Amino acid sequence: MTSVACVDDNRLLGEALGSRLGREPGFVWLGCLHRAEGALERLVELAPDLVLLDLDMPGLDSFALLEHAGGSLPSTRIVVITASTRASDRDHALARGAWGYLSKGISTLRLLEAMRRVMADEVVLDEVGAVDDGTFPPGPSSGAAQPG
């Protein structure tokens, strides 16, 4: 079973994720953190296998959270789920340990597939995450558990 938490200020998204993952075989929903304050500390307490992280959350430097999570949660895989299409955001997230970079517009089925792939040691990128030259980056480089 893969335990999943999210960090996103969109309560409706958190409720929808919880409802779907609560019925999905192989996943255990731990909840969604809607506030930036104390997010890393709460994630350490929850110790999820997988975190879905909103890149643009008021009061939260998501890049710093990614970087610190690598040291505090070394076996947790973090997937950024965002509306941002900026290549620099994608590159910063991957360089700081993200295992994925997905569009908030991704279908539920594709999100579930991406989550399973991440847990199978694959880096996942949605269309917004495709590297400009058509290649894929080598994967997370800071602190996160690396495929062996």
Asked if the structure places residue 7 within a domain, the reply is yes
Give the closest residue to 104 by CA, choosing from 13, 42, 30.
Answer: 13
- Please state the pTM of the whole predicted model: 0.83
* pLDDT of res. 127: 63
pLDDT in tens, 20-32: 998 999 999 999 9
Asked if the structure places residue 121 within a domain, the reply is yes
pLDDT in tens, 61-108: 888 888 888 889 999 999 999 988 888 999 999 999 999 999 988 898
Question: How many CB atoms within 10 Å of residue 73?
Answer: 22
Asked if the structure places residue 66 within a domain, the reply is yes
Contact 31, 78 (CB under 8 A): no
Question: What is the average pLDDT score of the chain?
Answer: 84
Asked if the structure places residue 113 within a domain, the reply is yes
Question: In this structure, what CATH number is given to the domain that contains residue 105?
Answer: 3.40.50.2300
Q: Quick check: 144 pLDDT over 50?
A: no
Percentage of the chain exceeding pLDDT 70: 85
Asked if the structure places residue 119 within a domain, the reply is yes
What residue numbers bound the domain in which 110 lies? 2-129
* pLDDT of res. 136: 41
Asked if the structure places residue 36 within a domain, the reply is yes
Given pLDDT bands bounded at 50, 70 and 90, which one contains residue 115? Answer: very high
Asked if the structure places residue 103 within a domain, the reply is yes
With b for 16 or more beta-carbon neighbours within 10 A and e for fewer, the 8-44 pattern comes to: bbeeebbeebbeebeebeebebbebbbebeebbeebe
* Total of domains in the chain: 1
Work out the average pLDDT over 120-137: 64
Asked if the structure places residue 147 within a domain, the reply is no
